[in-house]
Structure 1
Amino acid sequence: MPSIDIRHSHSLPPAQARQAVQDVAEKLAERFGVDYLWQGDTLAFSRSGVDGKIALAPQQLHITANLGFLLGAMKGPIEAEIRRVLNERFG
């Protein structure tokens, strides 16, 4: 199963970083029907074909996701879009 594993540094205060992750999760839910749930400082998300986590730590986000067969074929573009959003939201 194809997987994504991205670590991204940030300099936001914890509350601001959490809100930025929440904003991204809400957009994913709206656009793609992704379900999500906070488990401490980790946001777990899933929908048909993908499930993963965004772990929020001081100065770093760790995004992991397992992609199903259909989305696995699009791993490169999906990773590129994740990196674009991370750079836009977290610098």
Structure 2
Amino acid sequence: KILPYFEHKRLCDISAKDVITWQNEIRKQTNSSGELLSQGYLKTIHNQLSSLFNHAIKIYGLRLNPASTVGNMGKEERKEMSYWTVEEY
């Protein structure tokens, strides 16, 4: 989801505006069932993009992380916790 969109740009040439445009495109995409991508998945791929920028900052001297500037998309999905009762144990 990241590489196909940014494959013709160098990391140092990607702006916050580019990241916002990418986020908007990703939010429109659907999975194999035809449903919009889950909030957890959106958060995960944004975090992966942000990690790429953070690596470039540490190793290659990139000045800023436009994915961090823009902010995350999606949110972590909370899973319901199930507890065993004494009878079930």
Q: TM-score range by the shorter chain?
A: 0.3 to 0.5
Greater CA radius of gyration, 1 or 2? 2
Which structure ranks higher in relative contact order (CA pairs < 8 Å, sequence separation ≥ 6)?
1
TM-score by length of 2: 0.34
TM-score by length of 1: 0.34
Between structures 1 and 2, the one with greater helix share: 2
Between structures 1 and 2, the one with greater strand share: 1
